[in-house]
Amino acid sequence: MTDQELMDRARTMLRFSYAPYSHFPVGAALLCTDGSVFTGCNMENSSYGDTICAERTAVAKAVSEGHRDDFLRLAIAGTSRDFCWPCGSCRQVLWEFAPELEILCTNAAGEIIRFPLRQLLPHGFGPKSLKQD
């Protein structure tokens, strides 16, 4: 699947976004090694802190379908002019399962940029960090 195709899947999710408070819709699409794609959108809550980002929705869908160690690429689409970057919490959640993940971001002009998660979350804390020896 091309970067453009994966981003199109992310953008398609914008229509399902539930963002009545921020009015900031986000869509995400997570590609696994077997070609399966798990999509997500942000889902806000009147208790604002209970909001779930699009990326974490996609990860929860993947993990709950048995995918855990085969994440390849994640595309994130917003509607703002600038690139929609993954928030710190999403970077941490992604790191748990896929430190080698590639992140695709897009902007209003339709440009797509690609960053390794390792670059977006240097020295991430993960399962290995909990090993005592």
Active site residues: 55
| CA-to-CA dists, residue 131 to 19, 64, 95, 127, angstroms | 39, 25, 16, 7
d(CA 76, CA 24): 13
Judged by CB under 6 A, which of 8, 16, 51, 68 binds ligand THU?
A: 51
Q: Which residue number, 15 or 131, has a Cβ lying nearer to ligand THU?
A: 15
- Residue 107's contacts (CB-CB under 8 Å, 6 or more residues apart) are 80, 81, 82, 83, 84
Residue 133 CB, nearest approach to ligand THU (Å): 35
Interface pattern 89-128 for ligand THU (x via CB under 6 A): -x--------------------------------------
The pairing of strands 112-116 and 102-106 is antiparallel
19 belongs to the binding site for ligand THU (CB under 6 A): yes
Point out which residues pair with 115 in neighbouring strands.
103
Q: Which residue number, 33 or 80, has a Cβ lying nearer to ligand THU?
A: 80
- Chain residues binding ligand THU by CB under 6 A are 19, 22, 24, 26, 42, 44, 51, 53-55, 86-87, 90
